[in-house]
Structure 1
Amino acid sequence: MLDANLKAQLKTYLERVTRPIEIVASLDDGAKSREMHSLLQDIASLSDQVSLSTDGSDARRPSFALLTPGQNIDLRFAGLPMGHEFTSLVLALLQVGGHPSKASQDVIEQVKALDGDYQFETYFSLSCQNCPDVVQALNLMAVLNPRVKHVAVDGALFQDEVERRQIMAVPSVYLNGEPFGQGRMGLEEIVAKLDTGAAARSADKLNAKDAFDVLVIGGGPAGAAAAVYAARKGIRTGVAAERFGGQVLDTLAIENFISIKETEGPKLAMALEEHVKQYEVDIMNLQRAEQLIPAHEAGGLHEVRFTDGGSLKAKTLILATGARWREMNVPGEQEYRNRGVAYCPHCDGPLFKGKRVAVIGGGNSGVEAAIDLAGIVAQVTLIEYDGQLRADAVLQRKLFSLPNVTVITSALTSEVKGDGQKVNGLVYKDRNSSEFHHIDLEGVFVQIGLVPNTDWLKGTVELSPRGEIEVDARCQTSLPGVFAAGDVTTVPYKQIVIALGEGAKASLAAFDHLIRTSV
């Protein structure tokens, strides 16, 4: 099951375990069970600390539990954790085997102190780059707290459960049989949802902090670069981010990042955060800004208030809050969000295997999504508002070579239809004839660009008609001492490499501002 290279790597990792690991598999006569048995045999052969039993009684088959003598751990995988989830399997083995987690001690203690019985089920797909964060966080919680149980379920393998629960987006998390959350969630975010006093404690921590020389709002590429450049100047630097990595976390393949031939968004986001942590930067995660109070109104220091009630002050600010997926804003879109309306084809595509879907948008993202989905679903209809597609020629050639793809141009999506539970159709208007047409389908993937995250800034800094922060060549906004960088600004071409450069530039400009104002 595992090739020689993977076996060698896993063998090295398993040398770190300090206590026995018992793998208990629940199998049947199917092909997937045979694959799982082969995988588990490979793992057990790599360490004397690992044993394998096939007498499990789990109703989900194939599945396996990871146990260790003397510890009440309930951690299971239903399905083969390969693809993006192979890392989750490796980490689970290490943690069940006693190897310590890299999570902060504060969060570890918070998990151990959770009072209640928590039975989590996470539905994932092997192509979902957002799923491992959730699976790994809940696995760790199951290792740390005996009252937390977790099973990670491959939605593509257990289609009957997916249909019964009407799951149309991954990761989807259930707690004690009820929906708990969808989409990417890290350990801190999950614990914060369970620990009702977390928000108040977080606000108190923010309010107690001294003013920063440079405070970066946002943890994407621009924010990370700004933090590194500021910290290297030896000045007091902070980063407040809703999630470190930003939109990069939702990006699958990255092939145009100069000097790195190929990588994936989550890997790059992790590398950015690790680089920032090499310096004395105060990183504050799960912080969503809701108001900027300029220095002339806040007693000489800029102040940023957050949704948890806390606030931070700084001599200079760098706004790097990035952008989010643009929505169609048509009837039915919000009603059927995550019930057929999706924004990540890599994550949710496997849930639509053999079904009919539409992709909205004819740029590179839309055409790439249609190409990817064509290998999974029965039929893809790509709908583009313009009279022609805008994607690169090489992508268009690939798209038009696919037999199960239909392209409709000069079309305005006007409504998403459903039966009250999930999507069953889409209505579009032919812009040439003004006639309305209905398409029967089960999924709609929206790929029509980005919207800057600037709602919280209206009335403070100057924004463009598109809502982007207006900046000059030095990343200066309309407020002295407030700079901005990345996809949230008017700088053209929203690319990771450009955001990094702009973040560095904004930080250098902020440092220059500090020097000049102090003189």
Structure 2
Amino acid sequence: VLIIGGGPAGASAAIYAARKGISTGIAAERFGGQVADTMGIENLISVPYTEGPKLVAAMEQNVKEYDVDIMNMQRAEKLIPASRPGMLHQVRLENGATLKARSLVLSTGARWRQMGVPGEEEYRNKGVAYCPHCDGPLFKGKRVAVIGGGNSGVEAAIDLAGIVGHVTLIEFGAEMRADEVLQKKLRSLKNVEIITSGQTTEITGENGKVNGLNYTDRNSGEQHHISLEGVFVQIGLVPNTEWLKGDIELSQHGEIIVNDRNETSIPGVFAAGDATTVPYKQIVISMGEGSKAALSAFDFLIRNSVDESEDEAA
């Protein structure tokens, strides 16, 4: 089994596959994925607190305890599905190499959609955050903004309102796009302010930390500044699946469509984690999904024979 992606889903898949005695390889652009960019992690069950880089190091060490061929700094470029049952799937890498395997687990993760405004990258993890579930408690009693009025933005604002001192939600459009039941709940909260037709233009800071943001009223053209300690960007996730388009079934949002056994539209190809249609993008969920995908791959391998001529040629 060949695993593409080295985040929580990929690491879990590698461990579960190796423990089943399967010849296992893992190719990752960056072992750890998004987790490496996360600071405080307080919702990984049985671990009261850790930080992204520490968790990545622990995951990599755990994988290395097994006979797993780790190919780090390798970016997948093209999936070439097996032409018929029993043949080998192929993954072409950006460096020109091609890897072949009887079964694949795709766990390439996703990346937060960024606003692309001054200060966003500079203050990332210094007040700019993308995961309210992960980082919300770090802003207890403070003033924060949520950028985005879709379901994810409004849900984040509702969630944060129970933790922080005050939430300002800024929506680019003339009205929020979230489900009405969520909007009604948000409007009922006393420590929330809603700004529509607002275009965030800059995140400001001082002494290495966020101290506010600037936005433009798109109706009047007036510039405004809001003083706060945190900015949660909630304008969507972008799955790292561009390289799969045309070769595997994706949702309208670009996520790999999977069933409850992590099967994709291609027999022998499984997927797990943030790159898939499974809801709630969380570390602990990705770990479970990676484990499931590996178990499904094992089940597939023991039930399907391999084309010996193709196997020898490989």
Structure 1 length-normalised TM: 0.46
Output the amino acid matched with 1:280. D
3-state DSSP of counterpart to 1:498: helix
Determine if contact 1:382/1:407 at 8 Å carries over to the other structure.
no
Return closer, same or farther for 1:305/1:287 CA change in 2, 3 Å cut-off.
same
How do residues 467-478 of structure 1 correspond to structure 2 at under 5 angstroms? 467-478=254-265
Name the counterpart of 1:459. Answer: 246
Moved more, 278-287 or 393-402: 393-402
1:436-466, CA deviations, whole angstroms, 9 ceiling, x for partnerless residues?
Answer: 5423589995621422111111111111111
- Out of 220, 223, 227, the residue aligned to residue 438 of structure 1 is 223
- Out of 89, 98, 120, the residue aligned to residue 341 of structure 1 is 120
Unaligned regions of 5+ residues in structure 2, if any? Answer: 168-190, 204-212, 307-314
RMSD (CA atoms): 3.6
Name the counterpart of 2:215. Answer: 426
User: Could you tell me how far 1:300 is from its partner in structure 2?
Assistant: 2.3
Return closer, same or farther for 1:401/1:480 CA change in 2, 3 Å cut-off.
closer
3-state DSSP of counterpart to 1:500: helix
Q: Percent identity?
A: 51
- Matched residues in 1 for 2:302 and 2:17: separation? 13
- Matched residues in 2 for 1:392 and 1:442: separation? 17
Unaligned regions of 5+ residues in structure 1, if any? Answer: 1-213, 350-358, 419-423
Name the counterpart of 1:223. Answer: 10
Return closer, same or farther for 1:495/1:242 CA change in 2, 3 Å cut-off.
same
Output the amino acid matched with 1:438. Q
- Matched residues in 2 for 1:415 and 1:394: separation? 22
Structure 2 length-normalised TM: 0.74
- Matched residues in 2 for 1:295 and 1:476: separation? 15
Return closer, same or farther for 1:277/1:459 CA change in 2, 3 Å cut-off.
same
User: Could you tell me how far 1:396 is from its partner in structure 2?
Assistant: 1.4
- Out of 283, 293, 299, the residue aligned to residue 506 of structure 1 is 293
Determine if contact 2:2/2:105 at 8 Å carries over to the other structure.
yes
Structure of greater Rg: 1
The structure with the largest helix share of the pair is: 1
- Matched residues in 2 for 1:260 and 1:285: separation? 26
- Matched residues in 2 for 1:343 and 1:469: separation? 32
1:19-42, CA deviations, whole angstroms, 9 ceiling, x for partnerless residues?
Answer: xxxxxxxxxxxxxxxxxxxxxxxx
Name the counterpart of 1:264. Answer: 51
Aligned residues: 272
User: Could you tell me how far 1:395 is from its partner in structure 2?
Assistant: 3.5
- Matched residues in 1 for 2:21 and 2:134: separation? 44
- Out of 194, 212, 218, the residue aligned to residue 409 of structure 1 is 194
Determine if contact 1:239/1:284 at 8 Å carries over to the other structure.
yes
- Out of 116, 132, 139, the residue aligned to residue 364 of structure 1 is 132
- Matched residues in 1 for 2:279 and 2:43: separation? 17
- Matched residues in 2 for 1:277 and 1:373: separation? 42
User: Could you tell me how far 1:248 is from its partner in structure 2?
Assistant: 1.2
- Out of 62, 75, 79, the residue aligned to residue 288 of structure 1 is 75
- Matched residues in 1 for 2:12 and 2:95: separation? 26
Higher RCO (C-alpha 8 Å, min separation 6): 2
Output the amino acid matched with 1:385. G
3-state DSSP of counterpart to 2:136: helix
How do residues 482-493 of structure 1 correspond to structure 2 at under 5 angstroms? 482-493=269-280
Verify: 1:300 aligned to 2:64, yes or no. no
- Out of 146, 149, 154, the residue aligned to residue 385 of structure 1 is 149
- Matched residues in 1 for 2:194 and 2:294: separation? 43
